[in-house]
A and B are shown apart, each in its own frame.
Chain A
Amino acid sequence: MVQSFRSRFDASFAALSDATRRGVLEQLGRANASITDLAEKFHMTLTGMKKHVGVLERAGLVSTEKVGRVRTCKLGPRRLEEEAAWIERYRQLWDARFGELDKVVEELKRKEKVDGRKKRE
């Protein structure tokens, strides 16, 4: 367990230690791209870009899919997990707020009832 966490951490750490690979992640955050697109964008050979994508893929930061002759790259499962985790934290924040809001709303409802009764009297 500890070992696997460590190796995963080491893999992403190594993957992120390179400026081109960070650029690739940023780029894929905007839109999916083929290895050819990425090679052009970063002024690199296809082989060089394939190596970078391979490192990112092993770290789970990028996933690739081959359709016909084109290999398309997109952000990998680790990135998606991070987004899901953020959304859950955001949900918890609002859930906590709304829990308090329920109390305020109940109090206003009670007040309205009492005021209504007073008006009728």
Chain B
Amino acid sequence: MKNRTTVERKSARELVVTRTFNAPARIVFEAWTKPELLKRWWAPQSTGVSLLSCEADVRVGGRYRFEFGHEASKPMAFFGRYIEVTPHSRLVWTNDESDDGAVTTVTFEEQGGKTLLVMHELYPSKEALDAAVAGMEGAMPETFTQLDELLVTLGASVGRS
């Protein structure tokens, strides 16, 4: 049976994801730190996007870069740096796509041969997390611009009729 995944907005700036795995922490940790293993689970088919490339140099100061997309010509990249790497128990990395990116901390806590994984994302501000929740980063003003344009068009067509 599959274990449950939970997601909770803990505070204005924090999002927390939890999940238990039926394996010792060293194994779960390995799957998070070897690029050839990461690649196998980071972009599941149900998400509809495929992972074009996945590089991860899991050491303090090491960089990672994941590229997703429907077409290789227009990839969407996620990248940053590992700032803490404690074997089998803790990983911290930055999300450097924008100034509003979170700092992600993943802890692996072993108990009775199982591992409780907690992924904690801390955003620089409430607005940054709100923007993430609202859709894509910075998508709001753009949506409103489109809405404005649409309203102008609608207004113009009403005026004509």
**Of B30, B31, B42, B135, most A-chain CB atoms within 10 Å:** B31
For chain B, residues 125 to 155, give those with C-beta under 8 angstroms from any C-beta of chain A: 126-127, 130, 133-135, 144, 147, 151
Closest to A88 in B: B7
- A101–B133 Cα distance when bound, in Å, is 25
User: Cβ of A108 and Cβ of B41 under 8 Å apart?
Assistant: no
**B70 beta carbon closer than 8 Å to chain A:** no
Residues of A within 8 A of B133 (CB): 82-83, 86-87
* Residue in contact with B2 in the complex, picked from A16, A93, A102, CB distance below 8 Å: A102
Inter-chain CA distance A102–B119, complex, in Å, is: 16
Q: Which of A5-33 contact B (CB under 8 A)?
A: 13, 16-17, 22, 29-30
Q: Which residues of A contact B30 (CB under 8 A)?
A: 108
Residues of B within 8 A of A40 (CB): none
The total of Cβ contacts below 8 Å across the A-B interface reads 83
Distance between Cα atoms of A22 and B3 in the complex (Å): 41
**Stretch of B21-29, B55-63, B88-96 lying at the A interface:** B21-29
A97-B41, A98-B19, A101-B21 known; A112 and B27 CB under 8 Å? Answer: yes
In whole angstroms, how far apart are the Cα atoms of A86 and B130 in the complex?
11
Cβ of B46 < 8 Å from any Cβ of A? yes
A71-104 vs B: 1/0 string, CB under 8 Å? Answer: 0000000000011001110110111111111111
Q: How far is the CA of A13 from the CA of B155 in the complex (A)?
A: 13
A105 sits at the interface (CB 8 A): yes
Contact of A22 among B17, B27, B134, B144 (CB under 8 A): B144
Using known A-B contacts A30-B126, A100-B41, A100-B44, determine if residue A105 contacts B27 with beta carbons closer than 8 Å: yes
Total residues of chain B contacting the partner, CB 8 A? 34
In whole Å, how far is A97's beta carbon from the nearest beta carbon of chain B?
6
Bound: A12/B3 CA distance, A: 39
Interface residues of B in 69-99 (CB under 8 A from A): none
- The CA-CA distance from A13 to B150 in the complex, in Å, is 11
* In the assembled complex, A109 has its CB within 8 A of some CB on chain B: yes
Which residues in B have some Cβ–Cβ distance to A below 8 Å? Answer: 2-3, 5-9, 15, 17, 19, 21-23, 27-28, 30-31, 37, 40-42, 44, 46-47, 119, 126-127, 130, 133-135, 144, 147, 151
Given contacts A94-B19, A108-B23, 15 further A-B contacts (CB under 8 A): A16-B147, A22-B144, A82-B133, A86-B134, A88-B7, A91-B5, A96-B46, A98-B21, A102-B2, A102-B22, A103-B40, A103-B41, A104-B37, A104-B41, A108-B37
